[in-house]
Structure 1
Amino acid sequence: MRDAQLGAAVRTLRRRRRWRQEDLARASGVSRALISTIESGQVTEVRISRLRSIARALEASLVVEMRWGGGALDRLLDERHAALTSATLSVLESSGWAGRPEISYSRYGERGSIDILGWHPATRTLLVIENKTELTSVEATLRKLDEKTRLASLIAAEQLGWRAEVVSRVLFLSDTTTNRRHVRQQERVLSSALPASSAMIR
């Protein structure tokens, strides 16, 4: 969506609610001047967080998309994810676990794919593994990981014949500066949801 289209969308949704610019500013926690600037199509200098606040106030959602080299960006991201998955499977198998990548599921209206489902026959333990090359949203990642962990025993039994007595989970991240920064910023949340550190897992 171009800047002018974004501005027009904000203006149209605001008017649909019969709001003045002041009303939208109050509901979204920004200034009326900023609303006016956005509606005129000048969004280059506006923070994404403020645009998201305005969208929420209008009961809309803001989708930010980055494009590069046609479809090359998707292929590049897929390659990085595949490399992380391969490395994770190697760690599992060297530790006596079986691993199955990309286990899709659809149960009770919940759909998704488990990056890797690990299985330790001796202890009948399932391990739900989430691989992230980029940790963009800790909240969304943990919410989806909760869902996968909750459904894992049923999925494993139905699709693989693995009948677990214990289900656990782990989050693997690519070792990047950005991911390290996100982990530091969200350390309390991550430590609460995933208390075992990498050293303890090893």
Structure 2
Amino acid sequence: MKVAVIKYNAGNVQSVLYALERLGADAVLTDDLEIISKADKVIFPGQGEASTAMHYLKEKKLDRLIPELKQPFFGVCLGQQLLCEYSEENDTKCLGVFPVKVKKFIPESYEEFKVPHVGWNNLLELKSPLLVGLDDESYVYYVHSFYCELSEFTIAQTHYIHDFAALMHRDNFYAMQAHPEKSGKVGERILENFLSKT
């Protein structure tokens, strides 16, 4: 199975590649449209800033390719947010796969809630083959200041300041706000499920 990991100058890519290697996946980091199109599965990872990332995607014509892909596709962290229609981060129009807005965390009290949201938090209301083998309340690792709103595409949620979409699914597109590659056995199981069950 060939897995394309999309290169778009966003951080955290190497740890995703290591996680896939541990699972025995044949993964390649690329921004080549043909390689991505022909891959069996595609992973869209990243940490970074939305408008800069979208600029790179447009420069490489990935903004046109990604929404048209038909194979199983998994967006992670910034990769999840960029699959939405709009992000409040620098007023950015995103890829529009999910008709969902990305909003900034604004706590009532910065003493009680820190932004960015960093650390372990639990997944609630799990409902997807992507999450087979996990218990409600399984913990995953987050680093983010922006979040995806709840919608009909939410397949798990997390509460921090308020509820937000921890994972989403629409057609062949899956997405996760937390970092599976940093989330121990739970994250490994989610990646494994993506490779074997989607």
TM-score past 0.5 threshold: no
- Structure with bigger strand share is 2
Report the TM-score when normalising by structure 2. 0.31
The answer to which structure, 1 or 2, has the higher relative contact order (CA under 8 A, 6+ apart) is: 2
> Looking at CA atoms only, which structure, 1 or 2, has the larger radius of gyration?
1
